[in-house]
Structure 1
Amino acid sequence: MQHDWATPTPLQYFAVLVQSDDDLPLLEAAASLAQDDWPELDVQQVLADVDQLAARLQRQVSGQAPVFDRLSALGQFFFGELGFAGNANDYYAVENSYLHRVLHTRRGIPISLAVLWLELARSIELAVDGVSFPGHFLVQAHLDEGRVVIDPFTGQSLSQGELRERLDEWTRPASGPGFAQELPLTLFLEGATPRQILARMLGNLKHIHHSAQDWQRAVAVQDRLITLLPRAWDEYRERGLALAELGELQRARADLAVYLRQADQAPDRDHIAERLRALGGDLI
């Protein structure tokens, strides 16, 4: 019997990590995103580096200490001793989404900082979630008295009033002032699943690459998005259009055809059908 000992590609490795929601390894999958730009990245070393930070934290605070004491110690450790903070000077740099670079520079965007914060929080047995809050990813810790919501970009604990202000600011352009005030705040504070967190991280990278018209890197990110969310039909459209920009017409036609078959009521259906015909394809 012959065995195939070939090293998996970064996409194949990612596919194995995210194939099931049961025990999906968020930290490992998030760290692996950088392999599109850093193919030789040792993801296991990234995990070991985070384990070392967790061990340092555990030496400073017992997992049996009162919950608020553990949360305070985590904040001092993460934002104070380690110096993690948001990269306000270069917010849209791709490396802000790559965990091995965030560990090195101590700078990132809210969601990459959140992934590291969550891992350290769970190492001292805190009940925590990531929160896909509109416009800005947050984290929260659950206490007996309620919840503490924290901005991982600044380390600031946010009051209900501050959360309302952020929500109103984000929804005002589409819904008018005061719209968010009519909605339960808890609606926007549901814990994000690992799959949802990864999708948001990849969405950030896709936006960066599309804005730069870097279609090669955009397609690599969209390959991951479709692996992660195989029924996200809009991603087939976006990847198909990016592939067309690269001249990969066969793959582009296949993606656009999938989108048209699945998105029967899409408002851009006629436009995409016309684009498909211009690329030499037919809707089957």
Structure 2
Amino acid sequence: MDFPLARQRFYQEIRQPQEQIDLAKAALFLAQEEYPTLEPEDYLALLDQMALDIKERLPSNHYPLRIIQTINHYLFEELQFYGNAEDYYDPRNSYLNQVLDRHTGIPITLSLIYLEVAKRIDFPMVGIGMPGHFLIRPAIGDMQIFVDPFNRGEVLFAEDCQERLKQLFGEPIALRPEFLEAVDARYFLLRMLTNLKAIYLQQRDLTRLLAVIERMLLIHPNAPLAQRERGLLYYQLGRWTEAAQDLESYLSQIPMAEDASLMQELLRRMGRTN
């Protein structure tokens, strides 16, 4: 595959077995395409040092809540990381290097930093893909507490998550069990990319939008809706051969799609027939 070096590294990382994917490395390779001078090893070393600083501050009794309190104090009091509510849709909030440099981000990137330092102090945690607001929780037995890094590491119970959903969506939302299930590394990266996709779509930045969707398709190569989105972008950018391939693949997977007639018309304009 003829990818830029950063994308080759991203691809190599995500093709590993699920449990071997290094989220921090993958996120930094994702960012390196936007910031070509970025040195991933510098930021990995920074995460290592942050974990060492936390280890020095850990109490002698390593109870989970005490460890969480120690991480919270270090990240949100000493280093003053915070959730960027004022400029939530700044794309820098979605790039790990920028979040580490600026000490501000959105729920998923702040969660990533929290997960990475927790991993380095042997305190296993997992990502929780709650709709609209990413959380994390300790991966210890059946411990059902959740941590909200966007809100200074606030500790939540399931009923608090229910209330958080209501606040986010402005109406009562049923808390389904799957909302609080742990997510794997590929889902985590896909959700980061989904945030960037929404930002670049809003900004009408077609070049960056295409790069995001291309990386989403590296994670899930045959996702029909992503193929449709990429095909439409290729069409707008005048890359008709690639556009036709994607739109034909989309229609072959979902032949009765609601927009099938529109896709057929675009293929006709490009001189392709089905």
**Counterparts in 2 of 1:175-190, with a 5 A limit?**
180=174, 184=176, 186-190=177-181
TM-score by length of 1: 0.88
Instruction: Please tell me whether residue 159 in structure 1 is matched to residue 157 in structure 2.
Output: yes
Which 5+ residue runs of structure 1 have no aligned equivalent? 1-5
**Paired letter, 2:224:** W
**Paired letter, 1:78:** L
Instruction: Please tell me whether residue 140 in structure 1 is matched to residue 143 in structure 2.
Output: no
Sequence identity (%): 35
Q: CA deviation at 1:124?
A: 2.0
Q: Which residue of 2 aligns with 1:116?
A: 113
Structure 1 residues 152, 179: closer, same or farther in 2, change over 3 A? closer
Q: CA deviation at 1:16?
A: 0.4
Structure 1 residues 64, 246: closer, same or farther in 2, change over 3 A? farther
Q: Which residue of 2 aligns with 1:244?
A: 235
Q: Distance in 1 between matches of 2:141 and 2:69?
A: 15
Q: Which residue of 2 aligns with 1:77?
A: 74
**Paired letter, 1:230:** P
**Counterparts in 2 of 1:1-284, with a 5 A limit?**
9-20=5-16, 21-61=18-58, 65-143=62-140, 146-155=143-152, 156-168=154-166, 180=174, 184=176, 186-283=177-274
**Paired letter, 2:160:** E
Q: Distance in 2 between matches of 1:230 and 1:64?
A: 47
**Paired letter, 2:8:** Q
What is the CA deviation profile of residues 86-135 of structure 1, one whole-angstrom value per residue up to 9, with x for unaligned ones? 11121111111111111111000110111110011122222311111011
**Paired letter, 1:18:** I
Q: Distance in 2 between matches of 1:10 and 1:151?
A: 30
Q: CA deviation at 1:206?
A: 0.9
Supply the RMSD in Å over aligned alpha carbons.
2.2
TM-score by length of 2: 0.91
Asked if 2 retains the 8 angstrom alpha-carbon contact of 1:11 and 1:223, the reply is no
Q: Distance in 2 between matches of 1:22 and 1:160?
A: 27
Asked if 2 retains the 8 angstrom alpha-carbon contact of 1:110 and 1:137, the reply is yes
Q: CA deviation at 1:235?
A: 0.6
Q: Distance in 2 between matches of 1:220 and 1:179?
A: 34
